[in-house]
Structure 1
Amino acid sequence: MEIATVPRPAYPTTETSVTGLSDELMNVVRAYAKQRCQPLRAIYDEAVSAMVERLDSDEEIIFVATIPGRKIRTRHIRLTPEVAAAMAEACGRARVHQSVFFLRSLRDYLSRRGIDAPE
């Protein structure tokens, strides 16, 4: 017996690489995405968009670079093309690396929802 599957709608995405995301943090993000029944891309888009809006409102945000010597693993993330472009432009204006920007965005996003975001 064949089981019919419903294809998931395709969302155009832009893939980029970031560093500094611990396994513990990613487990929290995955659990939150699962709880909301959303793909990780949707969580990433919301986190990055919120940080871009904060920067656009002239809020002063301090970005702390990752700690040298910390074991860093490269991860591939997917964002919608519009969000990826907004992040690239915001990183240029703030003069911050996209990995540092993304990590801060994700941690602030979770924190604002009352979720403890581990290092």
Structure 2
Amino acid sequence: MLGVFFGFLAVVLAVGGVFCVAEARSYTDEQRARAPRLWRAYAASGAVCCLVGVGSVAWLVTGGTPWTVSGIVSLAAALPCFAQAWFHRTATIDRSPLAERLGEVVARTLNFPEATRQS
């Protein structure tokens, strides 16, 4: 049962890594230029998460112990959080562009319900 839990956690980490790389690409060129090394570190940490997730699933499928996966997955999952926080602090960015777009969509949906009403 523990192997299934950590297998699921590894799959979530792999999907989250892909999302992290896609989200890192959403920053503008001007934002990237403020801290290019930290932006690359953030994008690379997403790639590392994806690779660790896929590797952990492969490890568990071939009969590896879930305890090894638990430690590695926990460390890899923290990397993008720290890299993005450091990037945002250095580049003076309040929120990521993806979060801005999502916030605008939610605000439009919640603040303008008459657009969905039928006349």
- Whether these two folds match at TM > 0.5 is no
Q: Which has the higher helix share?
A: 2
Q: Which has the higher strand share?
A: 1
| Higher RCO (Cα < 8 Å, 6 or more apart) | 1
Scaled by the length of structure 1, what TM-score is found?
Answer: 0.30
Larger Rg: 2
